[in-house]
Amino acid sequence: MIEGVAQATPLLLLYLSMEIKENTSLAPYTTLQIGGPAKYFVEVKDGEQLREAFAFAKEKNLPVFILGGGSNVLFADAGFDGLVIRPLVKGREVLTPDVEGAQTSGVLVRVGAGEELNDVVAWTVDSGWWGMENLSFIPGLTGALVIQNVGAYGQEASEVVESVEVFDTKENVLKTFTKEQCGFTYRHSIFNTSERGRYIILFVTLSLTKNGKPNIAYKDLQNYFNGRVPSQEEVREAVIQIRTGKGQDWQALPSAGSFFSNFRLSQNDFDKLLAHIASNFSPERASELLVLTQKIKAPSDDGMIKVPAAWILDNLLGLKGYLHNERVCVSPYHALNLINTGRASAADMLDLFRHIRQLTHQKTGLTLVNEPEFVGFKPEELKRYFALE
């Protein structure tokens, strides 16, 4: 035993170049501030340490969970009975010379997946590189851009990602994926669908432009600028103010961000929904939704019609500000944010999740899909929470 480590809590295990903690609470590593202990926990800084971490897990026959910024996950109260790896690969590098007066209008930047996303967005805006300003003030790390095809206010990661460097846990090698190989769709990529768990993001190369134009087609931004053409800095500041006004400051209100995905409906299903709303709520509500959907089209919609889940929960069901118990509630600012009001458990959060899903299904026929990943729960637990009665 290493001197000074024997009495440490949690226990520190020396494994080659890393310190692996034992029985580490996961709550402080998540924006929800919820979660029991990980049996083992380690932070890694490069591909070699990743190899070592997976060798440790294999040696002890442990399941592995990769934890990024903790903004899109809900850990069980029992924690995770395995190894949680938190990659913190840092670094920012300009690959295309950013020379004043150069003919090229684009710039390529390579960013470590462990860099704070909001800091990276601020860096690109300060540098005058367009393409990420609408993604301001989103919690989490840069690696999540690729995994979830992060999008907000009419802008998506798939529009700026050039390539991705990953560690292949199956073949134990480093690989590079092009944008096309990432398989981007709405809030998805191969990294959280067909190849979930296999690849760990190390670096993301972004293709930005020096001579961009503001993307303010999204309703909230249209209303904010009221016909005025803003600068890039003004777009970023507007997004920050809008998100803060909706209670989406993860530092002030512990949440996982948007807890539910927006609905993507075929034209036929959308027409049925409008008829249902007109019949069971009012024709005015149906017309309001029809107008709204025309203003929030995104590049990855692919002919589908996006219906904002927040509009359903707020305008139809009146759930904004709903207090489920003293520990969890629907944000009074934005209906997609479920808030830990203090001392909430994972069970508390999933009770609220279940209530909202069941009510939505009963009133509209729509089935809400969770955005955060639920980790450490037993299958029978999740079956109960996902049941639609």
Please name the helix (run of DSSP H) or strand (run of DSSP E) that holds residue 117, with its range, or none.
Answer: helix 117-127
Residue 258 designated active-site: yes
**Among all chains, which residue has been given the structure tokens 């053409």?**
229
Which residue type does 5 have?
A: V
Residues 6+ apart with CB under 8 A from 179: 158, 161, 162, 163
* 3-state class (DSSP) for residue 382: helix
What dihedral do alpha carbons 40, 352, 136, 107 form, nearest 10°? 60
Given a contact cutoff of 8 angstroms between Cβ atoms, the answer to whether 48 and 17 are in contact is yes
Q: Which of 156, 159, 165, 371 is catalytic?
A: 371
Q: Can 233 be counted among the known catalytic residues?
A: no
Q: Which of 136, 258, 300, 331 is catalytic?
A: 258
Q: What is the DSSP letter of 368?
A: -
DSSP 3-state of 259: coil
Q: And the tokens for 157?
A: 């990661």
d(C-alpha 53, C-alpha 18), whole Å: 8
What angle separates helix 232-245 from helix 117-127, to the nearest 10 degrees? Answer: 150
Query: Per the omega criterion (within 30 degrees of 0), is the bond before 139 cis?
Result: no
DSSP structure string for 50-116: HHHHHHHHHHHT--EEE--SSSSEEE-TT-EEEEEEEE----EEE-S---TT-S--EEEEEEETTSB
Nearest to 145 by CA among 111, 108, 95: 111
292 and 308 Cβ atoms separated by less than 8 Å = yes
Residue from 86, 159, 165, 187 carrying the catalytic annotation: 187
Question: Which residues participate in catalysis according to the annotation?
Answer: 187, 258, 371
